[in-house]
A = this chain, B = another copy of it.
Amino acid sequence: MPQGLAVPDGLPARVRIHEVGPRDGLQNEKAIVPVEVKAEFVRRLAGAGLRTIEATSFVHPKWVPQLADAEQLMPLLRDPRVQQDLADVELPVLVPNERGLDRALEHGVGRVAVFGSATESFARANLNRTVEESLAMFAPVVARAREAGVRVRGYLSMCFGDPWEGPVPAAQVVRVGKALLDAGCEELSLGDTIGVATAGQVAVLLREFADAGVGTDRLAVHFHDTYGQALANTLEALRRGVTVVDASAGGLGGCPYARSATGNLATEDLVWMLDGLGVETGVSLDALAGVSAWMAGQLGRPSPSRVVRALRGSSDRDGRDGRDGAADA
């Protein structure tokens, strides 16, 4: 277990983890997971102490076949035996548009998320719209959700770099992000979709949001570990006041063996750091690693999380690590 001696100055006492494994994780896995396994996954994640678990996406099945069973999953999560375990757990779902919202509302969800893009290129690729058109599409979704008493999170992709456009100017991110918040999103999750951000950019972007009147109380961060930077970026964000961090149990969706790995930050790697910093999350690292090892078994491949690999595969870690050879030269 990680070792915490003292919380460094300027870090929050508590972080809320927004667990995206069942949605963002599984949507980027090649395998199609049976819906009963997904329900069990959510239940086990809650058992490990996660209190915000993004459950699925009401996107059209033809776009994301991995989550085509959203309609089947939701009733399983409301099964009395399961629901007992999920009593104080938020289960937001992704909705791309009004039709998705309608489907979600039929299942009585209490929280939804919309997903915008900070760049024109990715808005075109992912949403088949300009940024302005996508904002116009989201406006009635957010408004109608709020009318129905449903809270809305806004995701913003490509907040740091874009594969077509390169570095993304912070002012551009702030403009689109502010539009999502002004439309009624209660929280904005800043995504480093291709994992290229470094801590310096994080500092700059958060400062620009602050200058625009958007405090860190309305911001979450969503880092990818494609280049190994997710935790360093998270540390910088915490230092700047962010207290909501997205992560994916076991690093789901970021398999290091796949060429197109998105590299989601593994929840275990995040919890290890936060435990060590003395920052509370309510999550049991051991229990969570067990859940991810179980899920990796369902997917038939090892977890990409370093912590899961280290905790679950190191029974022979007997101190030989780092051995330099005895002194008998």
Residues of A within 8 A of B (CB): 2-8, 27-28, 57-60, 62-64, 94-97, 99-100, 103, 115, 121-122, 125-129, 134, 137, 155, 157, 160-164, 166-167, 170, 191, 193-201, 203-204, 224-229, 231-232, 234-236, 256, 259-263, 266, 269, 272-273, 275-278, 305-307, 309-310, 313-314, 316-329
Contact = CB atoms under 8 A, between A and B. Distances in A.
A58 B134 contact: no
Among A5, A7, A125, A129, the most chain B Cβ lie within 10 Å of the Cβ of A5
8 contacts: A2-B196, A6-B203, A7-B200, A27-B324, A126-B322, A134-B327, A164-B319, A235-B235
Nearest to A264: B322
Contact of A228 (B28, B134, B306): B306
A5 to B, nearest CB: 5
Contacts of A200: 4-8, 276-278
B127 A3 contact: no
B259 A314 contact: yes
Contacts of A320: 125, 260
A157 B322 contact: yes
Given A8-B236, A228-B266, 20 more contacts: A3-B161, A3-B201, A8-B203, A58-B329, A59-B325, A64-B325, A97-B327, A99-B329, A128-B326, A191-B322, A194-B317, A194-B322, A195-B321, A198-B275, A199-B276, A200-B278, A226-B310, A259-B314, A259-B317, A260-B321
B163 A327 contact: no
Contact of A3 (B6, B167, B263, B326): B167
A162 B320 CA distance: 11
